[in-house]
Amino acid sequence: MSHTLSQLMQFIEENDIKFIRLAFCDMFGVQKNIAIMASQLPHAVESGISFDASAIAGFANIAESDLFLAPDLDTFAILPWRPSEGCVGRFFCNIKYPDGRPFEGDGRHLLQTMEQKAAQAGYRFLLGPECEFYLFETDEKGRPTLEPFDRAGYFDIAPMDRGENVRREICLTLEEMGIQPERSHHEQGPGQNEIDFRCASPLHAADDLMTMRAAVKAIAAQNGLFASFLPKPLQDESGSGLHINLSIFQNGVNLFENFRTDPHPTAAAFLAGILRRIPEITVFADPLPGSYERLGRCEAPGVVSWSCQNRSSLVRVPAASGPDCRMELRSPDPSCNPYYVTALLLAAGFEGVQEGLSLPAAADYDAFARPAGLTPLPANLDEALALARESEFLKQVLPEKLLVDYLGHKQREADAYAAESKPYEYEIRQYFERI
C-alpha cells in the first residue's frame, strides 16, 4: 500500500505514535536502527537522517563517515511489542551519500534495481521465505543459554512442543504489522521452529523477513526466551535454513505451472541460471564459518542438483498448482543479508533466461550420497571466498566497493575461525547473541 507523508502524519497523531525507528540492514544481515521523534519524520523524508557509517563494519571509513537514511513510506508499521501509549512506528530505509547518490552497500537499492531491470524485460517475481530458528532458555539474569526450550521434534504438539503459544503470539504480531503468516510448526531440532508467510515481491519479502526476525526475537524475549537464527547453534542437531521459494511471471502467467509435465523454457532457463551461479553466491547465502557445518547433512543440500519433489536436492519444484507453483532453493541460511541474496538469485536466473540456458537432468535420487557428476557446494567459508573472488558474475552484478569490503571482512572471519582450536565454541562466542 502506498502512503503519502500527510496521511502518515495524520495517522501518527491519531494513534499517539511518539517515536519513529528508521531501520536498515547492514552488509552482514543484521538489522540496525535509529529512533527519531515522530515530529521529525517530515525532515527525515525531505533531507534524510545522517549517521556515523564508520561505526558499522563495511560501510565507510572515518574520513568519509556520513551516510543518510531515507525512509520508504510504504514500509510503515507499528511495533506491537512496544508500549501502546507513546507507541513506536518503523520504516525501512534506503541509504544514500550526502549528495543523494545510493550507497553501494545498500541491499534494498540493489534489489530494487534488479526488480526494475526484470520488469523492463517483461518479468515479475514472487518470493516466499521459509525461515527456521531456535528458542533457548535464558538464565536468572536473562542471558541466553544453549538449553533448548523443549525436546520436541518435527510437527510435534503440546505438551512436547512448548513453543506453540510463542509461535501463535509471533504470528498474531506479524498480522498486526501487515504480514500474513501462512504456516508455523515445530521443526526437527529441540526448540527449533519454523514460520512461513505469504509470498510477495522480492523487495517486500526481504523487508518482511527482516521484520519477522525482529518480531521473533522481541516476542521470545517477552516470554523469557532467546531466539537464535544461527545456522548451526547446536552441534549435533539440525541446522536452521532459509528456504527461498521463487516464481517468475510473464504477462500474468506463472511460468512454473505444469513444470513436472511440460516445463516452460523460460522457467527452466531461470532455474538453470541459479544452479550455475549458486556456488559463487554461496558466500552471501551462507555467510558464517559455521554455515558450512549445516550443508550436506540433516536435509541441507551439499551438491548442485534439482528435482521435482526430492528434498535432498538443492532446488526442488514442489507439487503445487496455480499461483503456488514455484522453485524452492534450500541452501541459504537465516544469517544472510536477504537483500543481497535475493538480488543475486534474480540476476543469476535472469542471466539464464537471457542466454536460454538448458536445464540439466533432474536428480531423482539421494543427492546426500554425493553421486559423481554433481558439482559440490563450497565445503567451508574459505572455498566459498575463493569461488567468489574468481566470479565474473559477482563482479558484474555487485558494486566493486560492496564486493571488496564484504569479501575482505569474510576472509578475516574465516581466518579467525580456522585459527581456533575449538571452532564451535568460537562460533557461539562470536555470533550466538548477535544473529
70 pLDDT more than 70: yes
* CATH class (in words) of the domain with range 5-105: alpha beta
Burial class, 356, CB count within 10 angstroms (exposed 0-12 / middle 13-18 / buried 19+):
exposed
Cα torsion through 175, 112, 295, 388, rounded to 10: -160
Under the banding of pLDDT at 50, 70 and 90, the label for residue 85 is confident
**To 10 degrees, what angle do helices 265-285 and 381-389 make?**
120
pLDDT tens digits, one per residue of 318-343:
888 777 899 999 999 999 999 999 99
| 139-148, 279-288, 306-315: least confident range | 306-315
pLDDT at 368: 64
CATH 3.30.590.10 location in the chain: 113-393+408-431
Burial track 253-288 (b if 16+ CB lie within 10 A, e otherwise): ebbbbebeeebbebbbbbbbbbbbbbbbbbbbbbbb
Q: Taking residues 298-312, what's their average pLDDT?
A: 84
For the domain bounded by 113-393+408-431, which CATH number is listed?
3.30.590.10
pLDDT tens digits, one per residue of 371-395:
667 899 999 999 999 999 999 999 9
Under the banding of pLDDT at 50, 70 and 90, the label for residue 2 is low
193 pLDDT more than 60: yes
CATH 3.10.20.70 location in the chain: 5-105
Cα within 13 Å of Cα(134), Cβ side: 33
d(CA 374, CA 145): 39
Q: What are phi and psi of 74, to 5 degrees?
A: -80, 0
297 pLDDT more than 90: no
pLDDT at 120: 95
pLDDT tens digits, one per residue of 127-166:
999 999 999 999 999 999 999 999 999 999 999 999 999 9
Mean pLDDT (the chain) is 93
pLDDT tens digits, one per residue of 342-361:
999 999 999 999 999 999 98
428 pLDDT more than 70: yes
Q: How far is CA 371 from CA 222, 283, 312, 331, in A?
A: 47, 23, 12, 18
pTM for the model stands at: 0.96
